[in-house]
Amino acid sequence: MMQDWANWALETARVRGSTYADVRVMDIRQRDLSTKNGQVGALSETESLGIGVRVIAAGAWGFASSDRLTREGVEACAAQAVAIARASALAKRQDVMMVPEGAYIDTWKSPCRTDPFRIALEQQLDLLLAADREMGKVAGVTLTETSMQFRRIDELFASSIGSVIRQTKTQSGCGIVATSFAANEIQRRSYPNSFGGQHALAGYELIESLDLLRHAPRVAEEAVALHKAEQCPEGVRTILLDGSQLGLQVHESIGHPIELDRVLGMEANFAGLSFLTLEKLNNLRYGSDIVNVVADARIEHGPGLGTFGYDDEGVPAQCTDIIKNGLFTGYLSNRETAAAIGAPRSGGTMRAESWNRLPIIRMTNVSLLPGTWRFDDLIVDTDDGILMDTNRSWSIDDRRYHFQFSTEIGWEIQRGRKVRMLKNPSYSGITTDFWNSCDAICGRDYWTLWGTPNCGKGQPMQTIGTGHGAAPARFRNVKVGVAFAKG
C-alpha cells in the first residue's frame, strides 16, 4: 500500500500544478522502558503511520501531512501541500532553486542481528531491574535509574523525478545511572554514557554487548566515592577528554555550526546561528594539523544514528570533509542550500523526525577521525594534566563559539600517572582556540561511534539521533574550573 499512497500523492501534486514533489510514508514503532530505585518507571510501546508531502508550486515550498491513508485522504493531503505552496509564493523573495540530483530505485536496511521487538518486554525489563539492584546494593547510593529504547522506521520515499526508495532502520540504546546525595552535594556516574547511554543503528545485540550488570557496581561505587574526592583545581591546564565527552564536544562546537541553514540565517531555533560564515570556508584554521572531522552517513563509517542509505530528499549517503588537517572545508547541506552557495551537489543531510515533520538539515555522523596514540602512552606522556570523563552539563553561545562543559568525574595526572580522583571538573574556551590546542588523538582501537538520540532542532521541534565518532584526545592550555561546587 505504501507505493499506492505515494503514487496518489505525486499524481495529485502534478495535476495541481507542482513543479516538484516528494513523498515520505513512514511507519514508526517505538518501545521505551525505564526503572527507578527498583520500580518500573516507563513501559510503553507506540506505533505511528502517516504520509508527508512536500512540493514546489509557483516557486515556493508547501508541505502537508496526514494519517488518513484512504485515497481521498492522501489526495487531499497532496492538494493541501500545493495550496500552501501557492500561498507561500505570495511572500517569496525568489523562486526556490535546487541543485540537480539523480533518480534512484533502491532498498536499504540497517544492520540488525537480533530484532529487539522480538525480545519479550519482560526479559528486557528483568535486565534493567537486575542492573538497578546491583547499583542499589552499594551503600551511599540514593537513586538508581536504568533505561532502554528501541525504534524501527520503515520508510518509503518517492519523488516526481522518479526515485522510489524503501529504507528500514532499527535503533537500540540503553544506559544506567547511579546518583548519590550527601549533605548539600549531588554526585552521579553513568554508563556507558550520560543522558540515555549509548545508542546505535543496531538490534538487541547492542544491549547484550554493553554488559550492564558487570558495570553497575563500579558506576555506583564511583558515584559514592566522588563525595570524598578533591575538588578539581582551577587554572590553565592540559586536559584529556574521554571519547564520549569529546563526542559531545564535536556535536556542540562543530556539528551545529556547520549546518548550512544556520549559516544562511534560515534556521536559528534551539542552537542559534553560526560563527562559520561563508568567507571562512577553506580559509579558517579550525584546529591543529591532526584534527580531521568528517560528516559521514555511509554504513562504512559505522552503524551510527546518523547512518542511512539515502536522506529524506532522496540523496545518497555521503562522506563530507568538514575539517581537513585543521582547515575548515565543508558544511552540512541540502539541495536548496547547496544551490545558494554555488555547490554542485547536496551533502545529503536532510532528515525528518516523523511523517508529520518537514525534512531539515540535520547532522549525520560528525566524527573526529582517530589519530595514532595508544591511551596508556598518552597518560605516560602527560606530565601535569586532568583526565575528564562522561558529560554532566554543557553550555555554548548562540554562535557556537564560547563554551563551558562539565564532566561527571576527573582524574589528576602527574608525571605520567593517574594519581587521584577529582570531582566537579569543568573546562571552558573558544571553539577554534580549543581545537587548535589539540596535540594528540588516540588510535582506531580506542575510537567509538557514540549515539546522541535527542538532538533538538526546528519549530515545531524535531528530536532526532546523530552520531559522533571520537577517541580520547589531549588539549593544551585549557581553562579548567569547578562546576557544581557547594555554596
- Last residue of one domain, picked from the residues 228, 253, 269: 228
CA–CA gap between residue 477 and residue 487 (Å, rounded): 27
Q: Kindly state whether residues 221 and 236 are assigned to the same domain.
A: no
Q: Kindly state whether residues 55 and 147 are assigned to the same domain.
A: yes
Give domain status of residue 475, yes or no: yes
Q: Kindly state whether residues 441 and 352 are assigned to the same domain.
A: yes
Check residue 268 and give its pLDDT. 86
Sole residue written with cell 560528525: 366
- Interacting residues of 197 by C-beta distance below 8 A, sequence separation 6+: 147, 173, 174, 175, 176, 190, 191, 210
Q: Kindly state whether residues 172 and 311 are assigned to the same domain.
A: no
CA–CA gap between residue 54 and residue 78 (Å, rounded): 8
Which residues constitute the domain of residue 295?
A: 230-482
- Last residue of one domain, picked from the residues 179, 210, 228: 228
Sole residue written with cell 518501545: 31
Asked if residues 474 and 439 have their Cβ atoms less than 8 Å apart, the reply is yes
Q: Kindly state whether residues 234 and 126 are assigned to the same domain.
A: no
Q: Kindly state whether residues 323 and 354 are assigned to the same domain.
A: yes
Output the furthest CA–CA distance in the chain (Å, rounded). Answer: 74
Give domain status of residue 440, yes or no: yes
Q: Kindly state whether residues 254 and 400 are assigned to the same domain.
A: yes
Alpha helices in 264-359 (DSSP H): 335-340
Check residue 484 and give its pLDDT. 62
Q: Kindly state whether residues 346 and 401 are assigned to the same domain.
A: yes
Partner residues linked to 164 by β-bridges: 105, 158
Question: Cis bond leading into 472, ω under 30°?
Answer: no
CA–CA gap between residue 157 and residue 178 (Å, rounded): 42
Give domain status of residue 487, yes or no: no
The CATH number given to whatever domain includes residue 154 is 3.30.2290.10
Asked if residues 301 and 353 have their Cβ atoms less than 8 Å apart, the reply is no
Give domain status of residue 218, yes or no: yes
Q: What is the pTM of this model?
A: 0.96
Check residue 487 and give its pLDDT. 43
Q: Kindly state whether residues 404 and 350 are assigned to the same domain.
A: yes
CA–CA gap between residue 63 and residue 466 (Å, rounded): 24
Q: Kindly state whether residues 109 and 76 are assigned to the same domain.
A: yes
pLDDT in tens, the chain (487 residues): 999 999 999 999 999 999 999 999 999 999 999 999 999 999 999 999 999 999 999 999 999 999 999 999 999 999 999 999 999 999 999 999 999 999 999 999 999 999 999 999 999 999 999 999 999 999 999 999 999 999 999 999 999 999 999 999 999 999 999 999 998 999 999 999 999 999 999 999 999 999 999 999 999 999 999 999 999 999 999 999 999 999 999 999 999 999 999 999 998 887 789 999 999 999 999 999 999 999 999 999 999 999 999 999 999 999 999 999 999 999 999 999 999 999 999 999 999 999 999 999 999 999 999 999 999 999 999 999 999 999 999 999 999 999 999 999 999 999 999 999 999 999 999 999 999 999 999 999 999 999 999 999 998 899 999 999 999 999 999 999 876 655 4
CA angle 277, 360, 45 (to 5 degrees): 140
- Last residue of one domain, picked from the residues 228, 253, 285: 228
> How many domains does the chain contain in total?
2
Q: Kindly state whether residues 223 and 277 are assigned to the same domain.
A: no
CA–CA gap between residue 203 and residue 111 (Å, rounded): 7
Give domain status of residue 254, yes or no: yes
Question: CA torsion angle for 17, 21, 27, 29 (degrees, to 10)?
Answer: -120
Asked if residues 350 and 359 have their Cβ atoms less than 8 Å apart, the reply is yes
Q: Kindly state whether residues 195 and 80 are assigned to the same domain.
A: yes
